[in-house]
């Protein structure tokens, strides 16, 4: 069972506009209200494609209740742990050229008992040999030592630990022995302390993360695709997007697609790694073609658009400037 644990979920409102002009009164052309949080998005993407998943998350206040209501209405198998704080609400402003502006609230602080309750529930739902996917930012005030303890509990339980986060939390996940970490280009640069200008830069950074203890590194590179570094070597792939609508949740869709193949047996060799990367790229490309943070379903995914290089030779290839 793939269980997602989102420590800082949100209620996400996306406003589509013609142009963002500071100081103007702007009328939205479309509005979308959706459950938010990286782990929540992974579960939503899996559900949209018929893959079993459970979403474990804290829930507090009216926005928390609305978040859970939307998840249940969408058919997500959700396990909400009540908290004393209020679930955050985020705003995304999307322009026609694909430019996205996000305004994120910090979220509530969690008590020690609330954090323990969340990880206890995630481990229970995953069962023996399951997969726990811990995604997104940590709640305000959560000590890094406590987050590290969460990672270590999953590893000690024998479940596969997948982490998509940034900064010290990402480094801690690698050191704790996460089976898979999925940073984006900026997060890779931050954690190793140097810019990512080429594929070679990303590969070397991924190898550094593996030297710290991570098993597999899946680095998403936006329009440039993604790089996978594991025991079998280096894989690179991309998928063209005819029309970019919103990048919100694209990395989560990529991770979800990747997990549908990888979680079935991450130690089965290069063919499985290539299949997992190709699936992830197809899901990620489909996500950016959709409005708001909508997750792609089978009708949205075009696997024939994926370009996979199982023997990338020119790692000096420059990446698109940020």
Give the active site residues: 252
CB-based burial, 168-183: b 16+ in 10 Å, e otherwise: ebbbbbbebbbbbbbb
Q: Looking up tokens 């949100």, which residue turns up?
A: 10
Give the residue from 250, 277, 284 showing the smallest Cα distance to 262: 277
Rounded Cα gap, residues 241 and 282, in angstroms: 10
**Bridging pattern class, strands 88-94 and 100-103:** antiparallel
Query: Which alpha helices (H) appear in the chain, and where do they start and end?
Result: 38-48, 61-73, 112-126, 144-157, 167-175, 185-192, 199-212, 250-262, 270-288
User: HSE on the CB side for 178, CA within 13 Å?
Assistant: 31
């Amino acid at each position: 069972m793939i269980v997602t644990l989102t420590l800082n979920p949100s209620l996400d409102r996306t406003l589509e506009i013609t142009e963002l002009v500071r100081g103007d009164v702007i009328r939205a052309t479309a509005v979308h209200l959706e459950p938010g949080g990286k782990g929540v998005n992974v579960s939503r993407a899996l559900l949209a494609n018929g893959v079993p998943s459970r979403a474990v998350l804290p829930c507090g206040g009216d926005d928390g209740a609305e978040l859970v209501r939307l998840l249940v209405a969408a058919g997500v198998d959700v396990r909400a742990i009540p908290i004393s704080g209020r679930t955050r609400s985020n705003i995304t402003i999307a322009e026609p050229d694909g430019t996205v502006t996000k305004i994120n609230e910090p979220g509530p602080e969690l008590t020690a008992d609330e954090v323990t309750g969340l990880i206890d529930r995630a481990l229970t739902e995953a069962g023996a040999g399951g997969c726990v996917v811990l995604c997104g930012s940590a709640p305000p005030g959560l000590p890094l030592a406590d987050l590290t303890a969460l990672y270590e509990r999953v590893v000690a339980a024998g479940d596969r630990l997948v982490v998509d986060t940034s900064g010290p939390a990402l480094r801690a996940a690698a050191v704790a022995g996460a089976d898979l970490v999925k940073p984006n280009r900026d997060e890779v640069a931050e954690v190793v302390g140097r810019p990512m200008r080429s594929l070679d830069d990303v590969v070397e950074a991924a190898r550094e993360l593996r030297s710290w203890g991570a098993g597999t590194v899946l680095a998403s590179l936006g329009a440039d695709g993604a790089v996978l570094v594991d025991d079998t070597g280096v894989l690179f792939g991309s998928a063209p997007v005819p029309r970019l609508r919103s990048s919100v949740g694209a990395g989560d869709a990529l991770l979800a697609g990747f997990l549908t193949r990888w979680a079935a047996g991450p130690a089965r060799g290069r063919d499985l790694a290539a299949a997992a990367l190709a699936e992830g790229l197809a899901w990620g490309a489909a996500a950016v073609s959709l409005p708001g943070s909508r997750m792609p379903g089978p009708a949205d995914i075009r696997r024939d658009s994926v370009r996979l290089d199982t023997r990338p030779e020119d790692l000096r290839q420059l990446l698109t400037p940020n």
